[in-house]
A and B are shown apart, each in its own frame.
Chain A
């Protein structure tokens, strides 16, 4: 959970408008956590459930990070769910049909690495396909990725012959099911938490927001240590999610590339005239999301101990919802990675809580849909002011 504490305000966000706009998603998340703990009489707020929750959130969270960039440049990618399935299936085939899952010991780790790389590679190829048509031929992202969504799903079904591919090797399954030791977990969380606190207090002209950040970070770090220490340590997907989350936040807030992405989304013509390599960056962002989807494919099949061609259904919607709930504008140019990560946790908590409360699965869908619409509506109203 460490990554959500990365709360430094963007350089561009104004001193005056900091508090409500950027803490809105934090508040929404806190509200739902309290509500669910209350409704479930505490079952929700146990280390065991929260560990599971973070693991469930990881995949959607990783996709949401990549999706943030795509939406920021004014695009969208509907194919991620199918790409997750396709890359998972390809990795599964490698494991089962080529017999990589039989390798043991050190060789097993090599086989695992190879499978993950192949999954990511499949994702990259899909991303390149999307990016090439969108950037080079100026076809609407909505259409291209809709096509890709169907193509990738079809390919997954063809390759898997419509059935699950299982079982996978234990080493491979580690990336979906494994835990880091509690000691290492505590060290990592503490390290990240203290780092964030240090950087927010080391700012020259620190304002209220920096102190708030440090305080939030301290609270969340202790919470995370409690959760992961009392149960079994950090799940591996959460570690991956955390690392990508921190990189994503830094990339958008601190690097040149982040500035370019925001400029492209805000006004592509002005960005182009200012010398921003618009096409290259747009292309690379679609490829990046593709790679993330490939990685998620590997993680998901590892968690299920088998690759399903039907996996990842509606993942694109969850990712877009997380991004939008996190305050990123669908028009592009405005938004943060941090918000999307919070959005992913929000969606995850909602799913998890409703299952705990035994809400009928059909009703869950309706409720989720309504919450997404509400979030967008709320967001547009606050932007138009």
Chain B
């Protein structure tokens, strides 16, 4: 990559303020961006990144915030004051946001998706497909106009979304944590696309909590803290790339408010006896796809086992099967066939449902925050105590009976403790979790499971969308719990994370274990090789 000669400014955010019921989410925030530039927007959970982006792309309409957003006019002559009433207005001005959770129109084809709001009453399918295909070919994403969006992987859906933005001639493209649901391969593809977009003169705002990505992509890094600008850095100085070692400490200090030397705390070294033994675990989907094929492993008390592998290699599926989550009884009702044996403390377990698993003192932080993690319209408090209540944890109510009362004071004090401990940023305990920022939602889930005081903890992408400061806290927690004798299985797509917190790593490929490593002696490349061979 070479240094950029920056072009004209095409977006200028001037002194934006926004508050939610009296709490300031943004205060006097400035942000300007030029064409052909990638700006990484960084900050802790709840710093206001998504809120700022929602203002820019019209999701918070004019009048719900104070301050001004100036956007380049369509004829590229000057900046104009943006007056978006909705996201459509923003589209017309050339601003598109690629959300983390993508398109709901699963039945539409790619072509329809691209022309969504201007489809005629009577569609000439051949013409439509031809027109769109011609455009897609120029992009080189490998998409087909006739594919159904619902059948695509998350990565490809994201590409469809990007293609749509380009089809609409967007000038400013916003990515909000785009890589959190992508496989390694798809991430690389996304990087290439971002480079392409930059070369084509688009302005890109990129929100992420992964610093690797920042140094890979960004020309400039802007940091927010508590809704205010705290600083920004350029990736190039005098035409040369500034080294990561120089930038990273400064960025982290800005984000978190204090320097962090070691992201990964020392590994727990106190092991107990072997207490979990999984034998010949297999998981077959109703249509015959083998997700997990005959996997066996053991776990000692205090040990942290990592599961690595590409997307679809069976990481999450192993955890789901062990926890009884992929059983046909689930409200989603996919009838997986599970076989194999689980022994815990020398006892043969029969785990049919998550409830059984919880009663055996297991806990499972699932990958899908909004799907299976949280009841979004309910309070932090209700969400946090749910699993503990269902498990009949005594300190919340006197008897283990459904009709027993939940004592408000108990409930509040025990959740308050966790809110403090994990530094969950919220206005009050009765705030709906849906209103929290992504990372804070993740912390609520973590607290929910820790409240059941489990002995065996399954973590699937435990730090997805969590900021650096909180990551370090979560890692500390993990080692702490391990040293108190908890066994853990961690599945993650972030290789450095696995290397940093696990004792042992199983690498999966197509549902098989393709290699087993001791984390101390292995490199990221070894794992990649074993995962993708």
Contacts and interface: CB of A to CB of B under 8 A. Distances in A.
Interface of A: 11-16, 138, 204, 251, 254-260, 262-263, 266-279, 281, 333-334
A256 B332 contact: no
B333 A266 contact: no
B110 to A, nearest CB: 28
A123 B329 CA distance: 27
Contacts of A12: 378-379, 381-382, 430
Nearest to A204: B409
B284 interface: no
B296 to A, nearest CB: 25
Interface residues of B, number: 49
B375 A272 contact: no
B155 interface: no
Nearest to B400: A256
Contacts of A267: 372, 374-376
Interface in B321-365: 325, 329-333, 353-355, 357-359, 364
B408 A272 contact: no
A257 B405 CA distance: 9
A254 B408 CA distance: 8
Among A255, A259, A270, A273, which residue has the most Cβ atoms of chain B within 10 A?
A: A273
Interface stretch (B100-108, B386-394, B514-522): B386-394
B402 A256 contact: yes
B142 interface: no
A274 B448 CA distance: 9
A266 B372 CA distance: 11
A271 B375 contact: yes
Interface of B: 21, 325, 329-333, 353-355, 357-359, 364, 366, 371-379, 381-382, 385-387, 389-391, 397, 401-406, 408-409, 411-412, 427-428, 430-432, 448
Contact of A270 (B353, B372, B381, B427): B372
A14 B409 contact: no
Contact of B371 (A251, A266, A269, A281): A269
Among A11, A258, A279, which residue has the most Cβ atoms of chain B within 10 A?
A: A11
B354 A272 contact: yes
Contacts of A279: 329
Contacts of A13: 430
Given A11-B408, A256-B397, A260-B402, A269 B387 contact: no
Contacts of B427: 16
Nearest to B369: A270
Contacts of A272: 329-331, 353-354, 372
A276 B386 contact: yes
Contact of B390 (A14, A15, A260): A260
A14 B431 contact: yes
A257 B402 contact: yes
Nearest to A278: B331
A204 B331 CA distance: 39
A244 to B, nearest CB: 15
B387 A274 contact: yes
A372 B21 CA distance: 31
30 contacts: A11-B381, A11-B430, A12-B382, A12-B430, A14-B428, A14-B430, A15-B430, A255-B406, A256-B401, A256-B406, A259-B382, A266-B376, A266-B377, A269-B330, A270-B371, A270-B372, A270-B386, A271-B375, A272-B331, A272-B354, A273-B364, A273-B372, A274-B354, A274-B386, A274-B448, A275-B358, A275-B359, A276-B386, A276-B390, A277-B355
Among B325, B331, B358, which residue has the most Cβ atoms of chain A within 10 A?
A: B331
A260 B389 contact: yes
B371 to A, nearest CB: 6
A269 B372 contact: yes
B490 to A, nearest CB: 18
B377 A270 contact: no
Nearest to A11: B408
Given A12-B381, A255-B405, A256-B402, A270 B373 contact: yes
B402 A269 contact: no
- Identify whether the interface residues of A are mostly helix, strand, loop, or mixed: helix
Contacts of B359: 275
Given A12-B430, A256-B403, A263-B375, 4 more contacts: A256-B402, A257-B402, A259-B389, A269-B331
A271 B388 CA distance: 12
A323 B407 CA distance: 27
Among B332, B390, B409, which residue has the most Cβ atoms of chain A within 10 A?
A: B390
A207 B375 CA distance: 26
Given A138-B333, A256-B402, A274-B354, A266 B375 contact: yes
Nearest to B445: A270
B377 A333 contact: yes
A334 B373 contact: no
A254 B330 contact: no
Contacts of A251: 403
A251 B373 CA distance: 25
A260 B388 CA distance: 11
Contact of B355 (A15, A255, A275): A275
Contacts of A262: 375, 378, 382
Nearest to B21: A16
A212 B359 CA distance: 42
Nearest to A16: B21
A13 B382 CA distance: 11
Contacts of B448: 274
A11 B384 CA distance: 14
A6 B216 CA distance: 60
B391 A268 contact: no
Contacts of B428: 14-16
Contacts of B372: 267, 269-270, 272-273
B432 to A, nearest CB: 8
A274 B403 CA distance: 18
A49 B332 CA distance: 51
Among A138, A260, A277, A278, which residue has the most Cβ atoms of chain B within 10 A?
A: A278
Nearest to A13: B430
Contacts of A273: 325, 354, 364, 366, 372-373
Contacts of A258: 406
Contact of A274 (B390, B397, B405): B390
Contacts of B431: 14
Nearest to B364: A273
Nearest to A257: B402
A150 to B, nearest CB: 28
Contacts of A333: 375, 377-378
A65 to B, nearest CB: 16
Contacts of B381: 11-12
A207 B242 CA distance: 56
Nearest to B399: A256
A285 B405 CA distance: 18
A15 B428 CA distance: 9
A261 to B, nearest CB: 10
Contact of B389 (A14, A16, A256): A256
B382 A334 contact: no
B434 to A, nearest CB: 10
A276 B389 CA distance: 9
Contacts of B389: 256, 259-260
A272 B354 CA distance: 7
A254 B405 CA distance: 5
Contacts of B387: 274-275
